[in-house]
Amino acid sequence: LSVTLEDMIHHCKAVKRGLEGRPQLLVCDLPFGAYEESEAAALRAATRVMKEGGADAVKIEGGHQMAPTVAKITASGIAVMGHVGLTPQSISTLGGFRAQGRTAVKARAVIDDALALQEAGAFAVVAECVPAPVGKALAKALEIPVIGIGAGPYADGQVLVYHDLLGALSHPHHRRFVPKFCKVYADLGTTAVKALDDYSADVKNRGFPTMDYSPYEMPPDEQAKFDSMLQADDEAREQDKKKVHKKLIDQDEYEAIKLY
């Protein structure tokens, strides 16, 4: 919830650079507080991420209550992706990260929300943390694509948080919070921690860097000149050190009267 619009614009710019030269559809989430106040505020936020962040579309969380906002933004020429089911920006009213649509009435409400977004002009809808039958009903009811995240196998497309699917977070605290619906395809977090530990041990043990990893050389004649300069510098510093030592002794009254 602490993410700002400026944060999202910054991230969007980075992703845009990474997508350069590739087929792309860059959808930027409008963060909490950037669009709820009014349709005008939402349009201003959407316009900024398009102009400053380089997004191709924006995503807004919420169902039928956000339909007028979606209609306003799409009418202004900006594509909008909806988001129903579990809406993470609303966890304070949902009671936490809980699955939605688990009763018949609630499930029907999720479908009604998605239909309202479609009617308002959304080009796609994300369905998060709903039972598979609800995901299937959404895909059947909507003409626009349904992108599932924890919504079963029947959605038109799928998405996961890549940190989760790559196992990028190795700390036990983070492991406990990998969603149940996420299949972990790698264990990059453990591999990364081991690599960092090995590097640290190598440095402490003087095992790295060795001369094998010191590839930059000086021509022999330049090396000889440099060595000569260093020798001269060493001799000059030794003389300076003696002068400084003598000066300190002369300024020390205890030393002068032999009280040490």
Q: Helix, strand, or coil here: 90?
A: helix
∠ Cα 219 225 228 (to 5°): 140
- Helices 67-75 + 39-51 axis angle, to 10: 50
Q: Is 146 helix (H, G, I), strand (E, B) or coil?
A: strand
**207 DSSP 8-state letter:** -
The secondary structure of residue 151, as a DSSP letter, is S
Report yes or no: 167 and 188 within 8 Å, Cβ to Cβ. Answer: yes
Instruction: State the Cα–Cα distance between residues 219 and 207, nearest whole angstrom.
Output: 26
Catalytic residues: 128
